[in-house]
């Protein structure tokens, strides 16, 4: 299964984390938890994504970020606040 854009970028940290990180002893536990979170967050109804693409292209006043679906954007913001 291909990785989503955000999940793929998040996975890059594991290339160095095993040997050079303070968390090297818990990498597998961290990775397992993050995998569950990303699998949940990256479930996207395709139609809502297309609507956001169209909106981004046609908006008179552009936003820095367009998110779809709305609940996913909410969980991402909560995750950032909690440090995920």
What is this structure's pTM?
Answer: 0.45
3-state secondary structure of 46: helix
- pLDDT mean over 4-33: 76
Query: Phi, psi at residue 72, to the nearest 5°?
Result: -65, -45
Long-range interactions of 68-71: CB distance < 8 A, separation 24+: 68/44, 69/44, 69/45
- pLDDT of 4 reads 61
Query: Is residue 7 within 8 Å of 38, Cβ to Cβ?
Result: yes
Given a cut of 70, whether residue 54 has pLDDT beyond it is yes
């Amino acid at each position: 299964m291909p990785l989503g854009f955000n999940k793929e970028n998040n996975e890059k940290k594991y290339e160095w984390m095993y040997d050079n990180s303070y968390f090297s002893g818990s990498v597998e536990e961290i990775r397992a938890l993050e995998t569950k979170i990303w699998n949940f967050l990256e479930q996207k109804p395709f139609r809502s994504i297309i609507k956001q693409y169209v909106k981004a292209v046609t908006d008179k006043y552009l936003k820095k970020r367009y998110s779809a679906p709305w609940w996913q954007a909410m969980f991402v913001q909560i995750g950032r606040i909690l440090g995920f």
